[in-house]
Amino acid sequence: MTNIVLFPILIPFFFAIVLLFFKENIIVQRILVSLGLALSLVSSIFLAYIVHTDGIQTVNLGSWAAPYGISMVSDAFSALLVTTTLIVTFFVVIYSFYAIDEGRERNYYYPAILFMITGINGAFTTGDIFNMFVFFEVLLMASYVLIVLGGEKRQLRESIKYMLVNVVSSALFVITVAYLYSIVGTLNMADISVKIAEVDQPGIITVIGILFLIVFGIKGAIFPLYFWLPSAYAAPPIPILTLFGALLTKVGIYSITRTYTLFFVHDVGYTHMWLMGLSLLTIVVGCIGALAYFDLKQIIIYNIVIAVGVILYGVSLMDDFAMAGSVYYIVHDMLIKAALFLLIGIIIFVTGTSNLREISGLMKQYPGLGWVYLIAAFGLAGIPPLSGFIGKLLIVQGSFNAGHWIGAIAVLLSSLVVLLSVIRIFLYAFWGEPKETKPINRMQYKKMMIPTTLLVILSVVYGVGTEWFMPLITDSKDVLLDPSLYIDAVFKE
Amino acid sequence: MELLTAILVGVLFTAAVYLILSRSLLKIILGTGLLSHGAHLLILTMGGLGGESPPVIADGVTDFADPLPQALILTAIVISFGVTAFMLVLSYRLYAVHKTDNMNALRGNDEHD
């Protein structure tokens, strides 16, 4: 069972290929896609268990020894992210059964999602920098298809911009890998780390570090590279927006975290100062955006930007508490953002608009939706028993330990802004005089509520039962702060 | 030799950036084409231009060109080919629906459209 590392990548890939043969048969597609995701979810939970009990798992493809072949490495951090990705995708796909129109389902909607999951899980698991580029392209190509699927005017307009930004950043990725290859002469990430330590980080390595920050910053939407995100994410339908918002930026964050804890750890004063400054500015612009809009989608989209800033700020501190906080927060954010986008989708479904000014008094008609939304909103802001609390607590604690009280205060203030922005949705949409809404299919509303509520419950469990998840988070933090654990695991054979 | 190719790559990047910043969509796509050419040439250059013979095992040959960058370039070429094909079809659809290829006319200034 040494190949267990590959299962969460190969199972979605296999099912995506099989799905291509059932274009017209929607029932078969739905059964196969949920079966495929359930199987990969089981395998990823098993993988997380193995990683927790036996330590970091590595597979050398084709049995070529470590620096010469491609290694797939699954440490606690990547196992955790892979599992969360599959959980989120599973619920979003169930939600899509009721929220996506038949035309999209007939035109390779589910295969595209599975190909995107293949790319995301591959990027989380790979131990080779060029292989990471390839997996990025796999997930980006699928995301291009998903963002334009349906071909509405607005989708066409925004998807071409999304594509252009990502094509440029991919070219930059290739360029950066070429520079790195000319310095260290290897592509295996563990080997790169060893070689960089041997040459003792000359100036050119710092330049490459900043180039990587730019490349992954475009994918992960940090300031000032987030400009493409708000309009691009608002174009596709809600389930696709949910997948993008919950998963795609997290791949960028993961890559920054991995490179900045494995490669560029010898001149931390310079590279991590940039990361810290930019992540704090990311929080600021996210806060401004979250307060500026009266559009349901835009408010939550800018909340993604805030979360990116908070997580990367925790990473940049290179501190025990803050790193654990970031690992905790990234999983929390994937779950809660998915839940919030799905809830927004239901509000848009029952009212037919995403303009907050045109919605009011939903509490009388849809009390369930209102209360679930309130819990999710409190979870996002980090009210104590819920899941947003522990992550931010640890990041703030690490920040005070390092003496960066400005950052700690910025993170705390951003929580207030997050709370204000999501509670404003609650006040405008659910309180006040009920407005006349068009009659909707109550059955469909209930079916859409089920996966959404389950996701919110899961995020509550994640917050209340932090103790259960803490061992995995501590493992992740240890590997991130001590690259030798990662290197030894890759070169063990 | 590396210096010459480095200058050539720089020229390709300059032209690519200039084209990508233009208004016409087709010019922008041509720019991304030049950008990927530049990136691929850069991989070849950064791998080192030494080596007497192509990386094929043959009798009596000891000095090979570095095979790894060539494999990387081959991968990057097919990926950028796929992406460019998709982008060209997308721009064709965009032109059919929006009746313009001017990027300035494709701004989304509407909060609720």
pLDDT tens, A117-172? 999 999 999 999 999 999 999 999 999 999 999 988 889 999 999 999 999 999 99
Asked whether A306 and A417 are in contact (CB, 8 A), the reply is yes
Q: Is A41 helix (H, G, I), strand (E, B) or coil?
A: helix
B42 touches chain A (CB under 8 A): yes
Of B45, B87, B112, the CB nearest to A355: B112
* Close Cβ partners of A413 (under 8 Å, ≥ 6 residues apart): A287
Contacts of B93 in chain A (CB under 8 A): 151, 156
pLDDT in tens, A425-463: 999 999 888 877 777 788 888 899 999 999 999 999 999
Q: CB-CB: which of B47, B48, B75 is closest to A134?
A: B75
Q: What token pair was written down for A279?
A: 């992540």
Nearest to A137 by CA among B90, B33, B82: B82
CB atoms within 10 A of CB A270: 13
Q: How many CA atoms lie within 13 A of A486 on its CB side?
A: 33
Tokens 């992740």 map to which residue? A476
Of A202, A263, A197, A178, which is closest to residue B66 (Cα–Cα)? A178
CB contact under 8 A, A187 and B68: yes
Residue A198 vs residues A188, A448, B68: alpha-carbon distances, Å: 15, 55, 22
Confidence check: pLDDT of A247 > 70: yes
Q: Is B26 on the interface with A (CB under 8 A)?
A: no
A 229-258 near B (Cβ less than 8 A): 231
Handedness of CA A73, A78, A83, A87 (dihedral sign): negative
Q: Mutate which of B42, B89, B91 to disrupt the A interface (most A C-beta within 10 Å)?
A: B42
| Structure token digits, residue A159 | 């998807």
Q: Is B82 on the interface with A (CB under 8 A)?
A: yes
Phi/psi of residue A60, each to 5°?
-95, 115
Cβ B90–A181 below 8 Å, yes or no?
Answer: no
* pLDDT at residue A239, rounded to an integer: 95
Which chain A residues have a beta carbon less than 8 Å from that of B25? 160
> Tokens 């078969």 map to which residue?
A28
Q: Is A157 on the interface with B (CB under 8 A)?
A: yes
Of all residues in chain B, the percent with pLDDT exceeding 90 is 65
Q: Which pLDDT does position A269 carry in this prediction?
A: 86
Q: Is B85 on the interface with A (CB under 8 A)?
A: no
DSSP-derived secondary structure letter, A57: E
Model pLDDT, residue A66: 81
**Which pLDDT value is given to residue B53?**
84
Under 8 Å between Cβ of B93 and B13: no
Q: Which chain A residues are Cβ-neighbours of B80 within 8 angstroms?
A: 167, 170-171
Question: Which residue in this structure is represented by tokens 């233009």?
Answer: B22
A151 CB burial (10 A radius; 0-12, 13-18, 19+) = middle
A160 and B39 in contact by Cβ < 8 A? no
Using alpha carbons, list the distances in angstroms from residue A422 to A24, A264, A337, B43: 40, 37, 12, 47
pLDDT at B93 over 60: yes
Q: Is residue A410 very low, low, confident or very high in pLDDT (cuts 50, 70, 90)?
A: very high
